Structure 1
């Protein structure tokens, strides 16, 4: 559960059922004081020797430094934070015209610069995934840590202060399932949640590897396309002071409602009109499907390791025999079986053996054929049907019955479990 950024950087500080090596002993302190990169410089020999905690250290360093670099780039160019409500994001209304960036002096941003920012982030995530898989296969370790105390330099000033922790960051996001702050703590001006220690182990390293791929997939999909027209037409909403073509025109004259609303509606129309993305890297597009298959494979491996555990040490994702750190939410064998069955169905879809339904056709949409052969992705034309024609095929089509176990066991809570289990 916790937002993926919680997953992006968390670990050690106390005693554990399995004694961690020297890298593990120092890891928590380095995460809490922001000195992880210095410690990581010493971790490669241990990882090369198969020490799980050393590889875990390197994986975390790639995750955190990659996220820091990404966040700092957004700050440097004056990105504004959208309203995170799903409806606001879908409608595009969560990014207000004239919103003031946190950076008082943003730098201009070009399309090529944005591509480089996204590409660098994917590279860091891939490096993290490799190290995390090595950690999962390395010597046993358990490293207790409070992920909410992990410090991240978000603005690139070289400092990781008390206000730059995951706890403070996530507390500002509202309804994410974090431990609640007591009224007593609020009265003392404390805004971070109370202690939330997780005992990270080899299985969790595989979990991190899966999440690194989950995070990279949409960026890879984006980078496989030319989205320059969309950048020019709409991304001034995200970077209002970065010199984009319409950055100075967040308000116009009144056309229907008011100057601000009319400009926003116009930008939404422009966004739909430019949501026609030529494929410029077919290898990368096909690689997205391979990445998605890697995610399901890693999730199976994660559960294989979780179910083989005999300890019960503050588990991030617990086996049915272990104690959940999520209040009131246990994991039963029925839930595990339903999840594994769902992974099988997802693989069938990714392999083109189970087709996706399209509202307009009796035939199904072959997702594998799209990833392997598409030359463009036009969102509107795919939805309305014309651009779906090359990918229609005969065969079984996914429906509610295909995911009956997921629906029966998890019901409306399935998004929560998907976020928790990845």
Structure 2
């Protein structure tokens, strides 16, 4: 579930050295491997305030990891599982044909308010991390090397990040991690902090540009949570969340297996009934309109950070295990070279996204010739009924005259990236 998403995001995004070596730059990698990043971050506040990029990067990474770690601990505490049934196994063609059991043998009860608090803490912590990453991007130059697979995270909240709680272990469970070539020579123009030259082939060199990448990734992660928190989803929670938290004392907990059958078997019929209930309750009143409207600013910040990221990447003169390389740098992703055409296509796509965010380019709706104005929705919506939006009735207030996004609007993206555009979007954020 979300834990594996967090692991993939952290691994894609997470090195030991820094230009103008300070304590943070010298100790960051080992603190991540030891699971003591918060201790280092606490000692780095003054240095970050003084403009030291590596110190701000340490604070940003601490916030980023803490956000996912705290959320994962909350899921564990309340016994979260991936919803599972014979019906799902049949639909997905996977071996999910036995009821899921929580990893936590003694899950705590969960209320709607507690789950909202989990989401709110996640979003606020990511916002703080994004702020530190922006400071890191604008701070003194640094290059920091980390092997993401050695980073430890305390997922179960027992106060220890054990051997099995590394990103490598998590990704090993989720699927095979993509091999990254061996390190190249040290970069010109940037100083590395003290320590042995890393030899592991999963090491990535992070610099100021990558701090901006992290800021964008944090914003992307927090934005959907902000949309959720702007709504009341208590009916949906009560009707379906016993499938995610089967032992947390939710209203339908004792009825996950039906007493009778309708179409298939007791487990499958009850699961299908819960899916129907989830669809029926996917009608969410807006309870915090300013919070929903603020999503527009968040979306604009994401595209602005991506532009800033690329501006900094293109200005780099080194080639040191780059997370996101320029056309003149070496890609660590096998068979994926970043060309000038790819960069231009991405920047052109950001322009189109800004038009959509500003309401100047409308989203297509299958039922109407007019387009759906996303800006109007975020600024004025009082309710989000997913079924009624899709079928058309609730889309009526947001229809506008004007250009509607189509394949031509993203022609450069399609021409250059083709079917691989989702991979590039995940990589570039």
TM-score, normalised relative to structure 2: 0.90
- State yes or no: 1:12 paired with 2:19: no
In 2, Cα distance between equivalents of 1:94 and 1:209: 38
**8 Å CA contact retained: 2:6, 2:68:** no
**1:239 aligned residue (242, 245, 258):** 245
How large is the RMSD of aligned CA atoms in angstroms? 2.0
Which consecutive segments of 4 or more residues in structure 1 shift more than 4 A?
93-97
Q: Relative to 1, partners in 2 of residues 1:224 and 1:80: Cα closer, same or farther, differing over 3 Å?
A: same
Measured after TM superposition, the shift of residue 22 of structure 1 is: 2.4
1:142-181: CA deviation from partner (whole Å, max 9, x where unpaired): 0011011100000011111111001111121126x5329x
Task: Give the unaligned 5+ runs of structure 1.
Answer: 181-193
In 2, Cα distance between equivalents of 1:82 and 1:317: 35
Q: Relative to 1, partners in 2 of residues 1:361 and 1:95: Cα closer, same or farther, differing over 3 Å?
A: farther
1:90-119: CA deviation from partner (whole Å, max 9, x where unpaired): 98x998783100000000000000000000
- State yes or no: 1:314 paired with 2:315: no
- State yes or no: 1:178 paired with 2:184: no
Q: Which residue of 2 aligns with 1:28?
A: 29
In 2, Cα distance between equivalents of 1:298 and 1:131: 14
Task: Give the unaligned 5+ runs of structure 2.
Answer: 181-199
Report the 3-state secondary structure (helix = DSSP H, G, I; strand = E; otherwise coil) of the residue aligned with 2:205. Answer: strand
1:379-402: CA deviation from partner (whole Å, max 9, x where unpaired): 000000000000000000000000
Q: Relative to 1, partners in 2 of residues 1:272 and 1:64: Cα closer, same or farther, differing over 3 Å?
A: same
Q: Which residue of 1 aligns with 2:386?
A: 379
In 2, Cα distance between equivalents of 1:311 and 1:195: 19
**1:228 aligned residue (210, 218, 234):** 234
TM-score, normalised relative to structure 1: 0.91
Measured after TM superposition, the shift of residue 232 of structure 1 is: 0.4
**8 Å CA contact retained: 1:98, 1:250:** no
Q: Relative to 1, partners in 2 of residues 1:95 and 1:134: Cα closer, same or farther, differing over 3 Å?
A: farther
Measured after TM superposition, the shift of residue 261 of structure 1 is: 1.0
In 2, Cα distance between equivalents of 1:351 and 1:309: 32
In 2, Cα distance between equivalents of 1:49 and 1:219: 32
Measured after TM superposition, the shift of residue 290 of structure 1 is: 1.2
- State yes or no: 1:210 paired with 2:211: no
Q: Relative to 1, partners in 2 of residues 1:224 and 1:96: Cα closer, same or farther, differing over 3 Å?
A: farther
Report the 3-state secondary structure (helix = DSSP H, G, I; strand = E; otherwise coil) of the residue aligned with 1:143. Answer: strand
Measured after TM superposition, the shift of residue 59 of structure 1 is: 0.4
In 2, Cα distance between equivalents of 1:101 and 1:20: 45
- State yes or no: 1:326 paired with 2:350: no
Q: Relative to 1, partners in 2 of residues 1:67 and 1:96: Cα closer, same or farther, differing over 3 Å?
A: farther
Q: Relative to 1, partners in 2 of residues 1:229 and 1:322: Cα closer, same or farther, differing over 3 Å?
A: same
Q: Relative to 1, partners in 2 of residues 1:94 and 1:82: Cα closer, same or farther, differing over 3 Å?
A: farther
Measured after TM superposition, the shift of residue 6 of structure 1 is: 4.4
1:119-160: CA deviation from partner (whole Å, max 9, x where unpaired): 000010000000000000000000011011100000011111
